[in-house]
Amino acid sequence: MIVVMKERATEAQIAAVTERLEAYGFEVQPVIGARQTVLGAAGVQPDFDVRHIQVLDGVSNVVRVTSSYKYVGRSWQEEDTVIDIKGVRVGGDEVVMMAGPCSVESEEQLDAAAAAVAAEGATFLRGGAFKPRSSPYSFQGLGEEGLRLLRTVADRHDLRVITEVMTPSQVDLVGQYADVFQIGARNMQNFDLLRAVGRTETPVFLKRGLSATIKEWLMSAEYVMASGNPHVILCERGIRTFESSTRNTLDLSAVPVVKNRSHLPVFVDPSHAVGFRDKVVPLARAAVAVGADGLMVEVHPDPPRALSDGPQSLFFDQFSDMMRQLRLVAEAVGRPMRAAHETSV
């Protein structure tokens, strides 16, 4: 930790800060002294709140030197994490597609969606059984019946299941059906939930919170890893800004930033970011171009009749057309992507 004193800091203030630092157990070393005193303080614990020093008289600025996470950083593991999920390597060279409806509504709906996405090379079926809805009057999901359908239909089309878990008490149940736990953006800092999925061995797909900094997002991944589960996949899905033309602002810069700091795979969900299906395709192309390890996209057999998020769900022909475009972009950036029909039954 570096403590920068104000230019007008008195000797007494510097002594008082030094004393306080030592009382907190730091080893203090005064540094450069052009116009002001700077104190180096070695031995800070990860949970030390630097504001304790910031509020002292005469202090101008405090900077933490050591990173506040242990497992998610490249200091812990330099090479990329690759997670093998039933034969699909997430975080490797391949650009992985996860697709399906927002909510599981019926076997017919889900089966149609699964067939369509599998035929185009997607390897994961997404679908919500428990739905976080901002209105209590909206469709809240089919619950366990939805989980059963996901498993059955995914197996039929040789797909893996990714579905959201919303609360710690659902973890066991959802774990019986899912290959990947999805943690939604609104739950990115639901710490009880992070610990609960962290105690399992099922991979965790952690969406970035609407107003989460990249650092906070990585700290949430750290919760999962510190609980024992190293299989975390990050997913950028748009942040909240002043711009209201799109549902959220997709922060594609986050992909190279996270890749630089962390070894974990990074996905992009353009559907939730933009909120309107006509904008999904160009942003999906951009996500592949920027270097995402995979995408999560909403597709529905009849979007105008979808019980949730229909307006941002693609029609089947749009999905096919998008996949065709994405394969070209993936090739342009030197990454493989499954061909159409390859994984379909």
With helix as H, strand as E and coil as C, how does 215-239 read?
A: HHHHHHHHHHHHCCCCCEEEEECCE
CA distance 345 to 119: 8
| 266-295 residues near a copy of itself, rule: CB under 8 A | 273-279, 282-283, 285-291
Query: How far apart are the two ends of the chain, measured CA to CA in Å?
Result: 58
CA distance 46 to 64: 10
Of residues 282 and 345, the one with the C-beta less far from a copy of itself: 282
Residue 165 Cβ vs a copy of itself, minimum distance, rounded to whole Å: 11
| 54-113 residues near a copy of itself, rule: CB under 8 A | 54-55, 60-61, 63, 65-69, 74-75, 78
Alpha-carbon torsion (134, 111, 207, 190), positive or negative: positive
CA distance 7 to 59: 9
How far are the Cα atoms of 4, 28, 49 from residue 34, in angstroms, in the given order? 12, 19, 28
Residue 320 Cβ vs a copy of itself, minimum distance, rounded to whole Å: 17
Residue 156 Cβ vs a copy of itself, minimum distance, rounded to whole Å: 30
Q: Does residue 252 interact with a copy of itself by CB under 8 A?
A: yes
Of residues 21 and 104, the one with the C-beta less far from a copy of itself: 21
Look up tokens 């959220």; give the residue. Answer: 248
**Of the residues 12, 25, 43, 86, which one makes contact with a copy of itself according to CB under 8 A:** 43
Number of residues in contact with a copy of itself, rule: CB under 8 A?
117
Tally Cβ neighbours within 10 Å of residue 285: 18
Of residues 329 and 340, the one with the C-beta less far from a copy of itself: 329
| 174-213 residues near a copy of itself, rule: CB under 8 A | 186-187, 189-193, 195, 209-211, 213
**Of the residues 332, 336, 341, 342, which one makes contact with a copy of itself according to CB under 8 A:** 332
Q: What are the start-end ranges of the E strands in 201-337?
A: 204-207, 232-236, 266-268, 294-298
Q: Spell out, one character per residue from 295 to 324, where the chain touches a copy of itself: x when CB under 8 A holds, - when not.
A: ---------x---xxxxx------------
Q: Does residue 19 interact with a copy of itself by CB under 8 A?
A: no
